[in-house]
Amino acid sequence: MHHIIIFGPPGVGKGTQSLLIAEKYNLFHLSTGEYLRKAIDEETELGKKAKNIVEKGGLVPDDIMTGIVIQALKENIGGKDGFILDGFPRTLDQAKALDKIFGEMKIGGTEILYLKADEEELVSRLLKRGRKDDTEEIIRKRLRIYIETTEPIIEYYGSTGQVIEIHGVGAVEEIFGSICEKLG
Cis bond before residue 89 (omega within 30° of 0) = yes
Q: Does 168 bind ligand AMP (CB under 6 A)?
A: no
Applying CB under 6 A, among 58, 101, 107, 140 the residue interacting with ligand AMP is: 58
CB of 61 to ligand AMP, least distance (A): 7
**Cα–Cα distance between 85 and 14 in angstroms, integer?**
10
Q: Which DSSP symbol is given to 146? A: I
Closest CB to ligand AMP: residue number: 33
How many angstroms separate the CA atoms of 57 and 155, rounded?
23
Contact between 13 and ligand AMP (CB under 6 A)? no
Question: Does the protein bind ligand AMP through residue 9 (CB under 6 A)?
Answer: no
Residue 167 burial (C-beta neighbours within 10 Å; 0-12, 13-18, 19+)? exposed
Confirm or reject binding of residue 59 to ligand AMP (CB under 6 A). yes
Report the site for ligand AMP in 36-55 (rule: CB under 6 A). 36, 53-54
